[in-house]
Structure 1
Amino acid sequence: MLIAYWIAAGLLAFVSLFAAGLKLFRTKAQLEGANAMEWTKGFSQGSIRLIAVAELLGAIGLIVPPLTGIVPILAPIAAVALGVLQIGAAVTHARLGEKPIINIVLAVLAAVAAVTGFIVWA
């Protein structure tokens, strides 16, 4: 179970950190021009940055508590939060007529990380 957690959490944290970095360091205009970021047209710059901070904190929450041994139960809670975020993203993409395949895959990864994390650290 521990290996399954680290695989799922590592992949999810990597993608979340990458996505957060894009949203934090690019302007809304730059994101709107990106192919997969059409959804940003319906959100303010502040909302986009808030989503990025949530992704960043979720990625940190997946990795840091288990590595340090300090309150490791926070890791599966972070996975649940990232899963909820991905479900919201999937709904947003679906409303725009896009296929939310990546969001569904990330939500499944979050579910695997949450379940295995709760088994290991609960």
Structure 2
Amino acid sequence: MNIALWIVQGVLALLFMLAGSMKAFQYEKAKAAMPWVKDSSKGLVTFIGVSELLGGLALVIPFAMGILPSLTPIAAIALAVVMLLAAFFHLKRKEYQGAGVNVILLAFAVFVAIGRL
């Protein structure tokens, strides 16, 4: 089970850090890649990006370093909430594929949170 948790943590961390860094630091690229970014303020997109980037780091670093490992499930829960809100946002915009991706990431984040509590 520990190996499965590490794999999911690593994949989630990578996905959140990549997506978060694009939203936080490459706004124009994010605007071209994601249709919802055009309808949102730059400040909101940057805030979401920084949150995802820090959340991705917090999925791995605290538990791997043994320094405040309780931060890992907290980060997983926080990212699950972000994905839940993102799924509702995409459903409201009738972007069903985006909502589906959010639900999958939500499920993996919940798996990490439960597994690391």
TM-score normalised according to structure 2 size? 0.91
Contact persistence 1:10–1:63 (CA under 8 A): yes
Structure 2 distance, partners of 1:62, 1:33, is 28
What secondary structure, in the 3-state scheme, does the structure 2 residue paired with 1:70 have?
coil
Assess, with a 3 A threshold, how the Cα gap between structure 1 residues 30 and 60 changes in structure 2: closer, same or farther: closer
Structure 2 distance, partners of 1:58, 1:49, is 14
**Bigger relative contact order, structure 1 or 2 (CA pairs below 8 A, ≥6 apart):** 1
What secondary structure, in the 3-state scheme, does the structure 2 residue paired with 1:52 have?
helix
Matches within 5 A, 1:1-122: 1-27=1-27, 29-34=28-33, 37-99=34-96, 100-118=99-117
What secondary structure, in the 3-state scheme, does the structure 2 residue paired with 1:83 have?
helix
TM-score normalised according to structure 1 size? 0.88
Letter in 2 for 1:31: A
Seq. identity, %:
38
Structure 1 distance, partners of 2:51, 2:10, is 17
- Structure 1, unaligned stretches of length 5 or more? none
Give 1:18 deviation, angstroms: 0.9
CA-atom RMSD in angstroms: 1.2
- Structure 2, unaligned stretches of length 5 or more? none
Structure 2 distance, partners of 1:76, 1:30, is 31
Count of aligned residue pairs for this structure pair: 115
